[in-house]
Amino acid sequence: MIGKEIRLERIMNRNTQKTIIVPLDHGVTLGPIYGLIDMKKTVNSIREGGANAIIIHKGIVRSGHRGKGKDIGLVVHLSASTSLGVDPNAKVEVCTVEEAIQIGADAVSIHINLGAETESEMLLHLGEVGRKCNYWGMPLIAMMYTRGKKIKNEYDVSVVKHAARVGAELGADIVKVNYTGSTQTFRQVVEGCPVPVIIAGGEKMETDKQVLEMVKGSVEAGGAGVSIGRNVFQHKDPKEILRKIAGIVHS
């Protein structure tokens, strides 16, 4: 496991054992939205703001990762779908663990939608990726969401804690889930998951206060940090909001 341990230190704060990850994989799902036009500029702001890692697709690594200044952890995303597809919840493999290793990844991530019509195929992919990550010593972040006809509320603690547990059961080293809305309910998610749990940022929020209260609630519940995208890279000052988030997560 030493390979995983070394690589995990590149995407997590070794002192706090928590992390701030900014996902920038939205270009496949939504296209070149605001904040993701100039990737080098965006990544530089995120790096300067104090994030521990970013998540990007393999084709953006050359143009949007390591530049001048201090380094930042690289997580390569392995799955994708687009908003133009018949079923945007059906994520498919677009990169392998071996490809991610070849381009210098510190970790890989995969998106799973429990409750979707293609849930079985996505779980099969998660299991296979988990096996390869163990073989190569590559950390795996599982983005576990609940989206489908049977899901009435994807933020309900009963489905969120189920999703987190599935990710851990199938080999994830870090699990990313929705925040359930309160410290009390999110504590149930953390207690039921034997690996670190981080929260997604969700849709763009109206105020910084909403973002920071969500971060604070998750950390107080025992969460291991955040993976916030649009509420960072679409912020008027990504560096400033990241500094505030870091003050909560790492202090």
| Residue of 126, 89, 129 whose CA lies nearest to 105 | 129
Options 145, 161, 173, 179, the catalytic residue: 145
Is the CB of residue 75 less than 8 Å from the CB of residue 58? no
Options 18, 91, 161, 176, the catalytic residue: 176
CB burial of residue 209 (10 Å; 0-12, 13-18, 19+): exposed
Tokens of 241: 């909001």
Question: Does 179 participate in catalysis according to the annotation?
Answer: no
| Residue of 83, 202, 213 whose CA lies nearest to 143 | 202
Question: Does 25 participate in catalysis according to the annotation?
Answer: yes
Question: Does 176 participate in catalysis according to the annotation?
Answer: yes
Options 25, 106, 132, 179, the catalytic residue: 25
What contacts 96, CB < 8 A, 6 or more positions away?
Answer: 78, 132
Catalytic residue positions, numbered: 25, 145, 176
